[in-house]
Structure 1
Amino acid sequence: MLNILVPVSDRSDDEQNGRVRVAIEIATALTARLTVIVEGQFALAGGDWSGPPPCATPQQEAFSPVPEQLADLLDRSAIRWGWIERPGGWREVSQQVGTGWLVAAPPTDTADGIGGAVDIEEALIQHRLAMVTVPPNLRSFEARGHALVLWDGSREAGHALAAAVPLLRVASRVTLLEIDDGSLATLGCQALDLLAARGVAATLSYVKAGGRSAARIALDEIAARGPDYAVMGAFDRPSWMQRLSGKVTDELIRHSPVPLFLKH
């Protein structure tokens, strides 16, 4: 079963509540499990570091560090959910939950690594997680809306496309935007065939890079097309998307008005 991960802190605020609602809506649309990652003061009884994420048992529920408001929100949903502690770093979390989709906030200058703000590159590359970044003002996620796939023909774009298939299957409309800087290894029409073989119908659109930066292209196209979310690969090597590292990645994630589904 697909595992949706959402980190939270012990504070309750609108942004965190909105991020949890996004995680619930994704889990509901995909019939997935949701795991809340919290900082706790005690070890999980009988925790298995190598196994799947545990559910809170009735004995643990009384001591659950999940904020009460969020626990009530989760209990009112129809999803299966549980929680784990973040015992140290994200490496320990990955040992407990394995792979999954991490719903997280964009980085901020005061990010402390919990409460939703995570190291994007660490989560994507070291722990092989897919990530959904949630803009600060977003309070919902339209899984069945319009999905925009930013396609540069790279291996990483292919990984992102494959990982996002469960989400794309429930989208009402999928647009695959072929961004051509002269180095496309896999054409957009080939990507359409891959999607069709997995039960996803998509339309193909095209834009010439024309010397514009990767972040500028992505932000301009998102603004012009108004999708509910965008899908893209990250941190590749051979083409324009390699510039989605460092400052350009930071710019795109910070300023995208819609959620981004990222996969390395």
Structure 2
Amino acid sequence: MKTGLLHVAEDRGGEARVDAAIQLAKAFGLHLTGTQAAPLSAYAMADPFGGVYPSLKLFAEHEKRQDATRASIEERLRDDGVSFGWVRGAGSPAVVLLDQSRLNDLIILSHLESDEGGWDAELDLVGDVAVHSRAPILSVPYDNGTLNLEGTALVAWNASFEAAQALRFSVPLLSRASLVQIVTIGDEAPEFPASGAAAYLSHHGIKSELLPVPLADLSVGEELLNVAIDTQANFVVLGAYGHSRIRERILGGVTREMLLRCPKPLLLAH
């Protein structure tokens, strides 16, 4: 893991993302690419007849804000001795990040702040990128970008392709953890049990423990969240599950639950 894509925007999670990105860059010698998007909605105006047209004033103001944000982040990266580049693309953040993710090893995003209002901008971003990207995502809580890679790592396992993909992508992070626990919620899939995931990690020199959890009255997402909190996991590895836009929500229930409520970083892959 040598390259990382950092989502840069003027939002509440921006500082936490930069904090996490700098820690990853120092740990793995990552070259970071700060990525800004310029969607039409940022400088579009509507007329009384229902038309939409670009506003040069709004465009200039948007560019000024992005320039200031870029200057501030670049100063931090230079001060910390982090190698970096920069991209500013036209289009929605999800589209720009997906375009740039083709030759990056990791994308750094933020958890959701709320689940109100149905399909909102944050859900659009995390959902689209998590489900369509071929690179893994490190999502951090919007108010805390602290990473403890030497602590406890929790791997959510259900024998799916998504869980296996997340496990493979997470090997560089898991290799640094002091304890790796592989949690299964409810009945295991006999063809690919958690012991198989543990055997895979052992081939990479990573020791792990199995943590079976019975499924009772709570949902799988709620059970997983409780396990993450009870074990004091420092980060969680999770397959990103998704549905079509026609069903209104691109993220599955477990992924959504963790992105909304988990107080720790998540390594996601689809």
TM-score of the superposed pair, with normalisation by structure 2: 0.76
Q: Which residue of 1 aligns with 2:91?
A: 88
Determine whether 1:147 maps to 2:153.
yes
1:39·1:65 contact (CA, 8 Å) conserved in 2?
no
Q: Which residue pairs with 1:196 in the alignment?
A: 202
Identity of aligned residues (%): 25
Q: What's the offset of the Cα at 1:226?
A: 0.5
Structure 1 residue aligned with 2:134: 128
- Structure 1 match to 2:55: none
**Structure 1 CA distance, aligned partners of 2:156 and 2:124?**
23
Given that residues 131 and 261 in structure 1 are in contact (C-alpha distance below 8 angstroms), is that contact kept between their aligned partners in structure 2? Answer: yes
SS of equivalent residue, structure 1 residue 125: helix
Cα shift at 1:122: 1.4
List gaps (5 residues or longer) in structure 1.
42-62, 238-242
Residue 224 in structure 1 maps to residue 222 in structure 2: no
Distance 1:204 1:39 in 2: 42
Output the CA distance in 2 between the equivalents of 1:175 and 1:21: 26
Aligned residue pairs total 233
RMSD of aligned residue pairs (Cα, Å)? 2.8
- Which residue does the alignment assign to 2:261? 255
- Matched AA of 1:106: H
Corresponding residue for residue 68 of structure 1: 71
The one of 96, 105, 112 aligned to 1:100: 105
- Output aligned runs, 1:109-128, within 5 Å: 112=121, 119-128=125-134
> What is the rounded CA distance, in whole Å, between the counterparts of 2:184 and 2:112 in structure 1?
28
Aligned residue for 2:26? 28
Q: In the TM superposition, what is the alpha-carbon distance from 1:129 to its structure 2 partner?
A: 2.7
Superimposed CA distance per residue, residues 39-96 of structure 1 (whole angstroms, 9 cap, x where no aligned partner): 369xxxxxxxxxxxxxxxxxxxxx9665332211111223311111132133344333
Structure having the larger proportion of residues in helix = 2
Amino acid at match of 2:7: P
1:87–1:93 Cα contact (<8 Å) kept: no
Once the 2 structures are TM-superposed, how far is the Cα of residue 27 of structure 1 from its aligned partner? 2.2
Greater mean alpha carbon deviation, residues 157-166 or residues 91-100: 91-100
Instruction: Say which of 173, 181, 203 aligns to 2:179.
Output: 173
| Inter-CA distance 236–183: structure 2 relative to 1 (3 Å threshold) | farther
SS in structure 1 opposite 2:146? coil
Structure 1 residues 229 and 93, CA, compared in 2 at 3 Å: closer, same or farther? Answer: closer
Residues 34 and 218 of structure 1: CA distance in aligned 2, closer, same or farther (over 3 Å): same
Aligned partner letter, 2:182: L
Alpha-carbon contact 1:215-1:244 (below 8 Å) kept: no
C-alpha displacement of 1:103: 1.4
CA distance in 2 between counterparts of 1:207 and 1:180 reads 6
- CA shift at 1:248, angstroms? 4.5
What CA distance in whole angstroms lies between the structure 2 residues aligned with 1:216 and 1:6? 29
CA distance in 2, matches of 1:236, 1:107: 15
CA contact (8 A) 2:25 2:31 kept: yes
> Higher Cα Rg: structure 1 or 2?
2
CA distance in 2 between counterparts of 1:208 and 1:232 reads 18
- Structure 1 SS opposite 2:175: helix
